[in-house]
Structure 1
Amino acid sequence: MIIIGEKINGAIPSVAKAIADKDEAFIKELAKSQSEAGAAYIDVCASVDSAIELETMKWLIDLVQDVTDTPIAIDSPDAQVCAKAIEFCNKPGLVNSVSMEGNKIDLVFPIIAESKWECIALLCDDTGIPQTGEKRLEVFAAIMEKAKAFNIDPSRLHIDPLVEMLCTAEDGINTVLEVMREVKRQYPTIHVTGGASNISFNLPARKFVNQAFLVLSMGAGMDSAIINPLHKHMMGLIYATEALKGNDEYCMEYIGGYREGLYGPVK
């Protein structure tokens, strides 16, 4: 599982305060701890006014790179910010994200085409979030046409089928799971990703819903997730599910993760 550490996000009150106060130590500790917990990417999302977003992104990225070599996931709804922030990174990372909305793909894909950068692509377009799996797969087909045009290999894409709140879903997560399976069927080397915590908004005891969602999604092909790697129970479930799926020969990763304290001992 490719873990995208979600903790450096200005939408989180404690992080918003750290950004406002220019608390470098706080941001560095979040980066360092997530890297040590097994994150493959450190997501960096400023969530500030657009007038200062790019300079804030540079400040955050510089702080992260001061304490870890873990690649950056540049996170912004503004494709121009994503494209420009690539210049601040010491090594290829992950763009979070593009979609078929407006010209987002046309801004980002040409820049990453000749590099080793990877990219999250959301299955939405100018009409918003499709309500059916069939419509989401139509958006997926359009994204893959763009990827082909720019000669971007499917293995460099992380497809987000758009996880919505469980409490407003008519069929639970069945639509999302169907989309995941079909995406992986069409392109076995592509990645499937998503924000695990999105599913549990407005529900009590959210951790149980998040963890159940992640296990079911991994069974449907999810191999990339935007989560908090400091949640040891969640990390334990990931290691265990990988072993149960046969992706961990002789359970060596599971055993190694336990010995390193990435998720245990769990009481």
Structure 2
Amino acid sequence: MIIIGEKINGAIPSVARAIKENDADFIQSLAKIQVDAGAHFIDVCASTDVNIEVKTLKWLIDLVQEVTDTPICIDSPRAQAIAEAIPFCKRPGLINSVSGEGDKIEVIFPTIADTKWECVALLCDDSGISKTAEQRLAVFAHIMKRAKEFDIAPSRLHIDPLVEMICTSEDGINMIVDVVKEIKAQYPELHVTGGLSNVSFNLPARRLVNQAFTVLMMNAGMDSGILDPTNQDLLGMIYSTEALLGRDEYCMEYIGAYRASLFGQKNR
């Protein structure tokens, strides 16, 4: 599983306070604990006013890069802000995100076309988030067509099928599972990602729902996730599921993660 560490996000009150107070030590501590927990990308999201967003992204990116070489995931709802922040990164990372909305593809795909940058792509467009698998797959087809135009290989894309709150769904995550299986059947080399905690909003004992959801989605083909890598219970579920699905030869990754105290130590 490709782990995208979610903890440096200005929408989180403690991070918003650190941004306001220029608390560099706090931001860098969040970066280090996520890297130590095995994150493959460090998501950086300012969640500030538009007029200071790029400046804030630069400050955050610079701080993270002072303490780790782990690639940055530039996270913003504004494609132009992402494009302006790319030069701040010392090495290619991950864009979060494009979709079928507005001019996002037109801004981002030409910018990363001849690079090694990877990109999250959301299955929504100007009509919003569709309720059927057919409609989401139509958005997917459009995104893949545009990616091909810019010679962006499927292996550089992380498709987010957009999981919504399970408590408002009539059929659980069955529709999302169908979408994931179909896109992986079409393009086995692309990645499937998403915010793993979105599914449990407004439910008690959210961690249990998140863990069950992770297992189901990994079985469907998810191999990338935006999550808290310091959550040992969730990380243990991910490593054990990969072993059970035959994606971890002789369980070496599972054993290595356990020995590195990434999960499970409290239950020894």
RMSD after superposition: 0.5
Residue aligned with 1:51, SS: helix
- Is 1:146 the counterpart of 2:182 in the alignment? no
Displacement of 1:264 after TM fit? 2.2
Please state whether the residue corresponding to 1:102 is helix, strand or coil: coil
Distance in structure 2 (CA, Å) of the matches to 1:166 and 1:21 = 36
- Match in the other structure for 2:196: 196
Runs of at least 4 residues of structure 1 off by over 4 A? none
Verify: 1:166 aligned to 2:151, yes or no: no
Could you say which residue in structure 2 is the equivalent of 1:28? 28
* Deviations, residues 72-126 of structure 1 (Å, cap 9, x unaligned): 0000000001111101000000000000101100100011110000000000000
- Using the alignment, how far apart are the partners of 1:148 and 1:24 within structure 2? 40
CA contact (8 A) 1:72 1:94 kept: yes
| Contact 1:200–1:210 (8 Å) recurs in 2 | yes
Equivalent position amino acid for 1:27 in 2 = I
User: How many angstroms apart in 1 are the aligned matches of 2:259 and 2:246?
Assistant: 20
Give the SS at the match of 1:86: helix
Distance 1:203 1:185 in 2: 32
**Deviation for aligned residue 1:265:** 1.2
Tell me the CA shift for residue 266 of structure 1: 3.9
SS in 2 for 1:38: coil
The 8 Å contact of residues 5 and 34 in structure 1, kept in 2 or not, is answered as: yes
- State the one-letter code of the partner of 1:174: N
Which SS does the other structure have where 1:196 is aligned? coil
Q: Hey, what's the Cα distance between the residues in 1 that align with 2:176 and 2:49?
A: 32
* TM-score where L is the length of structure 2: 0.99
Residue matched to 1:263: 263
Once the two structures are superposed, residues 128-164 of structure 1 have per-residue CA deviations (whole angstroms, 9 ceiling, x without a partner) of: 0011011000000000000010010000000000010
C-alpha contact (below 8 Å) 1:215/1:238 kept by paired residues: yes
Q: Which amino acid in the other structure matches residue 109 of structure 1?
A: F
Alignment check: 8 A CA contact 1:44 1:75 kept: yes
Query: What's the TM-score once normalised by structure 1's chain length?
Result: 0.99
Q: Deviations over 1:171-197 (max 9, x none)?
A: 100111110000100000000000001
Conservation of the 8 A alpha-carbon contact between 1:233 and 1:266:
no
- Any idea what the Cα deviations from partners look like across 1:2-47, whole Å, max 9, x if unmatched? 0000000001111111111110000000001101100000000000
Report the Cα distance in structure 2 between the residues aligned to 1:45 and 1:2, rounded to whole angstroms: 18
Q: What secondary structure is seen at the aligned counterpart in 1 of 2:162? A: coil
**Which structure 2 residues correspond to residues 64-213 of structure 1 after superposition, within 5 A?**
64-213=64-213
2:56 aligned with 1:56, yes or no? yes
Query: Partners of 1:136 and 1:53 in 2: how far apart?
Result: 30
**% of aligned pairs identical?**
67
Distance, in Å, in 2 between the alignment partners of 1:116 and 1:266 is 39
> 1:3–1:39: 8 Å Cα contact kept in structure 2?
yes
Rounded to whole Å, the distance in 2 between the matches of 1:225 and 1:264 is 20
Give the counterpart letter for 1:80 in structure 2. Q
